[in-house]
Amino acid sequence: MQIIIERIKRILLTPTQEWLKINAEEWTIQDLFTKYVMILAAIPSVAGFIGHWLVGHSTFGATIRFGFAQALTWAVLQYIVSVGGVFLIATIMDLVAPKFELPKDQLTSMKIVVFSHTAYWVGGVLNLIPNLAALGALLGIYSVVLMYLGMKQLRTIPADKLTPYFVTVLVIALIVYVVLGFVIGAILSPSVNLPAAG
């Protein structure tokens, strides 16, 4: 766990240097998920479970709480979306790479997407207080910056192709998460009247 904490601190505070270290590290896709993604992706899910079930979302003086089953369902779905979303976005990043004069490199794409999500997952601790969940999501915008830096450091890409490549992947990622967010909302909407995002 200490290794993960150190990685979180370095990727958030000194990302340029940390991407160089990540680039030199030997990882498998399985290790990326079992030793990093599946651990950090639990932060917003567990925090959200506690927040939606015990704290509640205050609106116009009223506090809305999920029942235990709804909160647990939300947390499980959020976790699946977080883990699956990383895999899907990295796969798409790799698939579109040849359009920008890059060879396919699934492992490097996975590294970029996995470690750039760190800020989003850490910001997810604010799901403990559902009214602050949107702030946590905003903190996750730093993950976008990390992704850009990761693409710049880990992929050998012509300077004029970097921004279009980054924007393409970013737009696809936003579409993926919006669609998945609607799916969560649709599953939960019969029993609760609270946005699923967080």
Contact 43, 121 (CB under 8 A): yes
Using CA atoms, how far apart are residues 100 and 98, in angstroms rounded to an integer?
5
Using CA atoms, how far apart are residues 142 and 145, in angstroms rounded to an integer?
5
Contact 133, 127 (CB under 8 A): yes
Tokens of 130: 């559902």
pLDDT in tens, 60-79: 778 888 889 989 998 999 99
pLDDT band at 190 (very low <50, low <70, confident <90, very high): low
pLDDT band at 168 (very low <50, low <70, confident <90, very high): very high
Q: What is the mean pLDDT of the chain?
A: 89
